[in-house]
Amino acid sequence: MYNLHLKPSLIKAIEEKGYKEATPIQAELIPAVFSGRDILAGAQTGTGKTAGFALPILQDLAGKFEEGRHYPKALILVPTRELAKQVHQSFVEYGKYLPLRSVVLYGGANITAQATRLHQGADIIVATTGRLLEHIAKKNIDLKALKFLVMDEADTILDMGFLNEVSQILQHLPENRQNILISATLSSPLKKLSHQILQKPKYIEVDSMGTTASSVKQVVYPVEAEKKAELLSYLIGSQNYTMVMVFVRKRAEADMVAEELNLSGLKTAVIHGEKSSGERSRALNDFKEGKIRVLVATDIAARGLDIPDLEVVFSYDIPHVTQDYIHRVGRTGRAGKNGLAITLISPAEMVALRDVERMLGRPIPQEKLEGYAPKVMGTQMGARKSEKKKSTEGAFGNKKKKSSTFSKSKKRKTTKRDGFKVYDANKSTKDKKRGRK
């Protein structure tokens, strides 16, 4: 960190957090932010991207700070309330020896209390898009003097359908500002957005977007769908995992998995979109403090969580959005530590698994356990399962095949030509009787 030209007050703060050397993304991102250029940065999750943009922003704002003048100069947009709290806490800890103030805004919290803090003055705003728009509508915040706009987990913001809200927020910002987009994956919507708001950006890609950290071991366990919960409980217990995160696609399934694990004696909590902000915060804090052993979560609820000591992540199923697999795996093996990512795969999910493997550019090793693995796993043929297309004669435009012979039981329809044949035969008989040739 010493060769990145950071001020002693920032060096002191990060040393107290145990930081010694800059990660590759920090080594490139910090000087890029100091340069004033727009930036599109991508790196694996858990590589220290937050410090990469927070430290230079804090240093820049502190160097130009005027005593008593606290107004929004930096805005950091994030997709979820958990990530908002986490990023805000990072700014607080890194800037503890600076005169700057920061405020966090997210839904589910008291909006009046947030408005009070805004009116008292803040230099840095960390916010989810929806709650920020509420404060803008109530005229609790003025962003016309903003210098920095950061979109952290920008791909997730767009995947969650917040593009319209981002567009509304941009209308309230000054044109002359530095834009920084941070992402773990580079999706098509993100490329489109980067073209719209970034001016001659600097591209930073430490590792290919859409890859996972080499410190994380990945493995797939084939299993019958109805035995997934049983196998999950067995693996956690038999391997004596003490801190486990389990990802599932749906809220109802998250509740079911948590209930099954609690019944098997594994203390478990669950977080998803239907849980209140307080419930999610308590569950996450209990998990970090070791009061519970397993945290079950949906992808949206757990996006961007930083749990430094998380040893293993389970994917109970394949996520709806293939890129979400990267975010799941990125919860473990953070800051260079070793991690383990286990995926439970049923025969019906083979197509989705192949999509993940194509994204990674390699197959994920498989391990089979006697009594859980299916006897036959599905095979992949192109983009779909190999199922022969069924054809029904006469249906959906398929013409029935005409029979070459008439049915003996069905009388053939009489035509005019048949009448002519009868006439000709009768005429021939009459002519013979009359002796005509």
User: How many structural domains is the chain composed of?
Assistant: 2
Residues 146 and 18 in one domain: yes
Stated pTM of the model: 0.70
| Euclidean distance between CA atoms 97 and 165, whole angstroms | 34
Which of 149, 177, 205 delimits the end of a domain?
Answer: 205
Question: Does 267 lie in the same domain as 185?
Answer: no
Give me the residues of the chain with pLDDT under 70, please. Answer: 1-2, 43-46, 207-213, 301-304, 335-336, 376-437
| Residue 168 lies inside a defined structural domain of this protein | yes
Per the structure, the complete domain to which residue 273 belongs is given by 216-379
pLDDT for 153-183, tens place per residue? Answer: 888 888 778 889 999 999 999 999 999 999 8
Domain membership flag for residue 390: no
- Does the residue 11 lie in any domain? yes
Do 28 and 109 have their domain in common? Answer: yes
Nearest partner of 280 among 73, 108, 43, 25, judged by Cα = 108
Burial of residue 326 (number of CB atoms within 10 Å: 0-12, 13-18, 19+): buried
245 and 322 together in one domain = yes
Cβ of 227: how many Cβ atoms within 10 Å?
Answer: 17
Res 172: pLDDT: 97
Asked whether residue 403 is assigned to any structural domain, the reply reads: no
pLDDT at 402: 46
Q: Is residue 406 part of a domain?
A: no
**Judgement on whether residues 154 and 125 belong to the same structural domain of the protein:** yes
- Among 379, 403, 427, the domain boundary falls at 379
Examine the fold and report which residue of 148, 176, 205 is the final residue of a domain before the chain moves on. 205
267-326, pLDDT tens digit by residue?
Answer: 999 998 888 878 888 999 999 999 999 999 998 766 667 787 888 999 999 998 888 888
430 domain residue, yes or no: no
Q: Is residue 85 part of a domain?
A: yes
Q: What is the pLDDT of residue 376?
A: 67
Q: Are residues 196 and 317 in the same domain?
A: no
For position 271, which CATH number holds? 3.40.50.300
* Residue 128 shares a structural domain with residue 255: no
140 and 243 in a single domain? The answer is no
